[in-house]
Amino acid sequence: MLLNLYGIRAIYEFEMARTRRTLMQSIVAPVISTALYFIVFGSAIGSRISQMEGITYGAFIVPGLIMLSLLTQSISNASFGIYFPKFTGTIYEILSAPLSPLEITLSYVGAAASKSIILGLIILATSAFFVPLRIDHPAWMLLYLLLTSVTFSMMGFIIGIWADGFEKLQAIPLLIVTPLTFLGGSFYSISVLPPFWQKVALLNPVVYLISGFRWSFYSIEDVSLWLSLGMTVSFLMVSVLAVIWIFKTGYRLKK
Amino acid sequence: MNPILTISHLNKTFESGFQALKDINLSIERGEIFALLGQNGAGKTTLISIICGIVNATSGTVSVAGKDIAHHYRDARSLIGLVPQELYTDSFESVWNTVSFSRGLFGKPPNPALIEKILKELSLWDKRDNKIITLSGGMKRRLMIAKALSHEPQLLFLDEPTAGVDVSLRKDMWQLVKALQTAGTTIILTTHYIEEAEEMADRIGIIRNGELILVDEKLALMKKLGKKELTLQLAGPLDAIPAELNIPELSLSANRLELKYTFESSGEGMGAADVLHKLSTHGIVFKDLQTRQSTLEDIFVDLVNAGGKETSAALAPTATTGEDHHAA
What's the CA gap between B184 and A214, in Å, rounded?
62
**Residue A86: closest C-alpha in chain B:** B88
Cβ(A79)–Cβ(A169) below 8 Å: yes
- Using CB atoms, pick whichever of B55, B82, B107 lies closest to residue A1: B107
Name the 3-class secondary structure at A26: helix
Domain check: are B299 and B199 in the same one?
Answer: no
- C-alpha angle with apex B300: B56 to B157, nearest 5 degrees? 35
Domain check: are B69 and B108 in the same one?
Answer: yes
Residue B176's alpha-carbon distances to B170, B181, B305, in angstroms, are: 10, 9, 33
- Using CB atoms, pick whichever of B82, B100, B108 lies closest to residue A96: B82
Domain check: are B187 and B238 in the same one?
Answer: no
Domain check: are B86 and B99 in the same one?
Answer: yes
Which residues of B fall within a CB distance of 8 Å from A255?
A: 14-15, 49, 55-56
CATH of the domain at B77: 3.40.50.300
Domain check: are B200 and B56 in the same one?
Answer: yes
Domain check: are B128 and B148 in the same one?
Answer: yes
Cβ(A62)–Cβ(A127) below 8 Å: yes
Nearest to B148 by CA among B40, B48, B3, B46: B48
Domain check: are B100 and B248 in the same one?
Answer: no
Domain check: are B208 and B269 in the same one?
Answer: no
DSSP calls for B256-308 = SSEEEEEEETT--SS-HHHHHHHHHHTT-EEEEEEEEE--HHHHHHHHHHTTT
**Residue A254: closest C-alpha in chain B:** B55
In chain B, how many H helices and how many E strands?
Answer: 10, 16
Nearest to B34 by CA among B191, B208, B150, B224: B191
Domain count, chain B: 2
CB within 8 Å: B90 and A255: no
Domain check: are B185 and B211 in the same one?
Answer: yes
Which of B222, B248, B280 is where one domain is finished?
Answer: B222
Residue B197's alpha-carbon distances to B193, B200, B206, B219, in angstroms, are: 7, 5, 11, 11
Which residues of A fall within a CB distance of 8 Å from B102?
A: 93
Range of the domain at B249: 226-326
Which of B222, B248, B267 is where one domain is finished?
Answer: B222
Provide the residue count of chain B: 328
Per-residue pLDDT of chain B (328 residues; tens, 9 = 90+): 689 999 999 999 998 999 999 999 999 999 999 999 888 888 999 999 999 999 999 999 999 999 999 999 999 999 999 999 888 888 889 999 999 999 999 999 999 999 999 999 888 999 999 999 999 888 898 899 999 999 999 999 998 887 767 777 788 888 888 999 999 999 999 877 777 888 889 999 989 889 998 898 888 777 766 677 888 899 888 888 888 787 878 888 888 899 988 877 666 667 778 888 888 888 888 889 888 776 666 777 777 776 544 434 444 443 333 333 443 3
Domain check: are B129 and B254 in the same one?
Answer: no
Domain check: are B318 and B184 in the same one?
Answer: no
Domain check: are B56 and B194 in the same one?
Answer: yes
Which of B222, B241, B263 is where one domain is finished?
Answer: B222
Which residues of A fall within a CB distance of 8 Å from B109?
A: 6
B84 contact A CB<8A:
yes
